[in-house]
Amino acid sequence: MPILDTDRATLHHGDSLAILRTLPDCSVDTVLTDPPYSSGGMTMGARQADPAKKYQQTRTKRSYPAMIGDNRDQRSFTLWASLWLAECWRVAVPGARLMVFTDWRQLPAMTDAVQAAGWMWRGLVVWHKPSARPVLGDFKRDAEFVVTASKGKPGTFSRRCLPGVYRHNVNAARKIHLTEKPVPLLVDLLEATKPGGVVLDPFAGSGSTGEACLSTGRRYIGIELSQEYTALAADRLQKVMAA
């Protein structure tokens, strides 16, 4: 049973793969999601470190609920991503778009998994985040990537030529999730998707994608494994719907 179920938003608490398997074929117009990256290092020890240490600048004092599922090794990450991406493909309508976040280290694994799951890889959108930490004597890693793909020929809904690079800072003061994505970035990404359509997000986190969907008139289906983040996301979605 979803913990939130209205005509504008549904939120499930549980494992994405298990819940995806309960959703009907060809029932969502878009998949926009930000899974755990399992990134942060070359070695197993580095990957298995606490995500709060891997992804947070050392001087940051804020703490967030624990992020689950972020410590797979490379082979199991690719296999696992292929499994949930294949379920997303089944649940998506023909012509649906997939947009999935990743970082530079996991980009090859994610593009392999996307294609293994049946999606047609279409390209990358770059999220430029100027607030990323500087690296002495090395290039600043101030970009994350959105792998874009489609289920067959994608629908075209925007009447603009959309950019390939979006620049948005993380709103550190407002964020409630360790790796929360800026809502304005998600709103920008939704411009390529069906107005009024159904957007599936199997890794909802704090519900930022849900907020972007609701604010642009799209229906949202989210799934989140962490009880704390599910509660935060449900609260956020209810507030946006009440506003």
Ligand X SMILES: C[S@@+](CC[C@H](N)C(=O)[O-])C[C@H]1O[C@@H](n2cnc3c(N)ncnc32)[C@H](O)[C@@H]1O
- For 93, 118, 210, the CA distances from 203, given in Å and listed in that order, are 20, 20, 11
HEC string of the chain? CCCEECCCEEEEECCHHHHHCCCCCCCEEEEEECCCCCCCCCCHHHHCCCHHHHHCCCCCCCCCCCCCCCCCCHHHHHHHHHHHHHHHHHHEEEEEEEEEEECCCCHHHHHHHHHHCCCEEEEEEEEECCCCCCCCCCCCCCEEEEEEEECCCCCCCCCCCCCCEEECCCCCCCCCCCCCCCHHHHHHHHCCCCCCCEEEECCCCCCHHHHHHHHCCCEEEEEECCHHHHHHHHHHHHHHHHC
Binding mask 170-209 for ligand X (x = CB under 6 A): -------x-xxx---------------------x-xx-xx
Q: CA 99, CA 157: separation in Å to the nearest integer? A: 15
* CB 145 to ligand X: min, Å: 13
* CB 209 to ligand X: min, Å: 6
Q: Count the site residues for ligand X by CB under 6 A.
A: 22
* CB 8 to ligand X: min, Å: 18
* CB 204 to ligand X: min, Å: 7
Q: Which of 148, 197, 229, 240 binds ligand X (CB under 6 A)?
A: 229
Q: Which of 113, 125, 223, 240 binds ligand X (CB under 6 A)?
A: 223
Q: Does 144 bind ligand X (CB under 6 A)?
A: no
Q: CA 71, CA 66: separation in Å to the nearest integer? A: 12
* CB 201 to ligand X: min, Å: 8
Residue whose beta carbon is closest to ligand X: 205
Q: Which of residues 13-72 bind ligand X (CB under 6 A)?
A: 15-16, 34-36, 67-69
Q: Which residue, 119 or 127, has its beta carbon nearer to ligand X? A: 127
> Could you tell me which stretch among 103-111, 119-127, 166-174, 221-229 binds ligand X (CB under 6 A)?
221-229
> Could you tell me which stretch among 88-96, 120-128, 161-169, 220-228 binds ligand X (CB under 6 A)?
220-228
* CB 161 to ligand X: min, Å: 26
Kindly list the residues in this chain that would bind ligand X in the complex (CB under 6 A): 15-16, 34-36, 67-69, 177, 179-181, 203, 205-206, 208-209, 223-226, 229
